């Protein structure tokens, strides 16, 4: 154990993997903010904490089952000359769930009334946790496969995953509040969920889309929207100043 703590290569591996895990967790945080937004305000922090705790437990369990993880990529049947594995089926299922959830949320934002809001708020705490658990499985599988490919030592992988989840835990509340308080940002977040869902479906069909492209697209869109929000805030301040003078 002391060799792991004093080896600079181990620390470099930990830092690299932890940063990557945090980046890969962005979609998880966005999904959490959208799903938990359906609960009463007082119960949202608890749902986010439970969701991230589930993600942590799932990732540690998967890391401890590396042999089983490698078997997930073993073909179980062939369809139109394409080998299909359990990982492909999980990615397909998770991707279609994200596409369904993203589409229904966009529809709710664009075309809803007060009666719809009451129905949405009636969504149970348990159903939200179940939805989080389903997507945690997909995100955890993606994250763990990355960790296994980048690090050689199980303690390093677990430490990096735990560190990333702790960072996500502190980031989840401000991110959720920002997303839910700004409709245009929430729409961008839903677009990102649709984008990730499509990427998961493509991955399940053996068409790999590098996540860097997805993150660049959403980062660019968020930058533009942030500038729009700042400009709107400045216009509002100028309007108030003119009104005060008049």
Q: Taken in order 60, 61, 65, 68, is the CA torsion positive or negative?
A: negative
Backbone angles phi, psi at 84, to 5 degrees: -120, 125
Mean of pLDDT values over 114-134: 66
pLDDT at 80: 74
**79: confidence class by pLDDT, cuts 50, 70, 90:** confident
pTM for the structure as a whole: 0.71
Per-residue tokens: 122: 């009636």
Range of the domain at 110: 2-245
Pick from 168, 159, 156: which is nearest to 55 by CA?
168
Compute the C-alpha angle 21/132/203, nearest 5°.
60
The pLDDT of residue 121 is above 60: no
236 versus 72: which is more confidently predicted?
236
Predicted pLDDT at 122 = 47
pLDDT: is 25 or 194 the higher one?
A: 194
Of 65-74, 89-98, 134-143, 222-231, the range with the lowest mean pLDDT is: 65-74
pLDDT bracket for residue 14 (50, 70, 90): confident
Contact 128, 10 (CB under 8 A): no
Rounded average pLDDT over 30-55 = 83
The packing angle between helices 125-150 and 86-110, to 10°, is: 130
Packed helices 154-181 and 183-204: angle between N→C axes, nearest 10 degrees: 140
Please tell me the total count of domains within the chain: 1
Across 41-45, 73-77, 152-156, 229-233, least confident range: 152-156
On the 0-12 / 13-18 / 19+ scale of CB atoms within 10 A, 164 is buried
User: Lowest-confidence range among 45-54, 56-65, 78-87, 150-159?
Assistant: 150-159
Rounded CA gap, 176 and 157, in Å?
Answer: 27
Q: Please provide the average confidence, as pLDDT, over all residues in the chain.
A: 78
């Amino acid at each position: 154990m002391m060799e792991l703590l004093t080896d600079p290569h181990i620390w470099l591996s930990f830092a690299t993997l932890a940063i990557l895990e945090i980046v890969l967790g962005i979609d998880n945080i966005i999904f959490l903010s959208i799903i938990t937004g359906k609960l009463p305000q007082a119960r949202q922090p608890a749902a986010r904490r439970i969701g991230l705790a589930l993600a942590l437990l799932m990732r540690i369990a998967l890391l401890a089952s590396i042999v089983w993880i490698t078997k997930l990529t073993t073909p179980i049947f062939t369809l139109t000359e394409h080998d299909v594995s359990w990982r492909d089926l999980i990615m397909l299922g998770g991707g279609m769930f994200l596409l369904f959830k993203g589409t229904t949320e966009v529809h709710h934002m664009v075309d809803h009334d007060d009666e719809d809001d009451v129905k949405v708020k009636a969504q149970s705490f348990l159903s939200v946790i179940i939805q989080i658990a389903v997507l945690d499985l997909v995100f955890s599988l993606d994250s763990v496969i990355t960790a296994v490919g980048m690090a050689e030592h199980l303690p390093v992988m677990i430490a990096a995953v735990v560190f990333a989840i702790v960072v996500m835990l502190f980031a989840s509340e401000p991110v959720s509040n920002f997303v839910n308080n700004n409709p245009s940002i929430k729409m961008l977040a839903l677009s990102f969920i649709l984008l990730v869902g499509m990427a998961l479906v493509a991955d399940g069909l053996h068409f790999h889309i590098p996540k860097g492209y997805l993150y660049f697209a959403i980062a660019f869109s968020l930058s533009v929207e942030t500038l729009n929000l700042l400009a709107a805030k400045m216009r509002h301040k100028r309007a108030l100043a003119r009104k005060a003078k008049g």
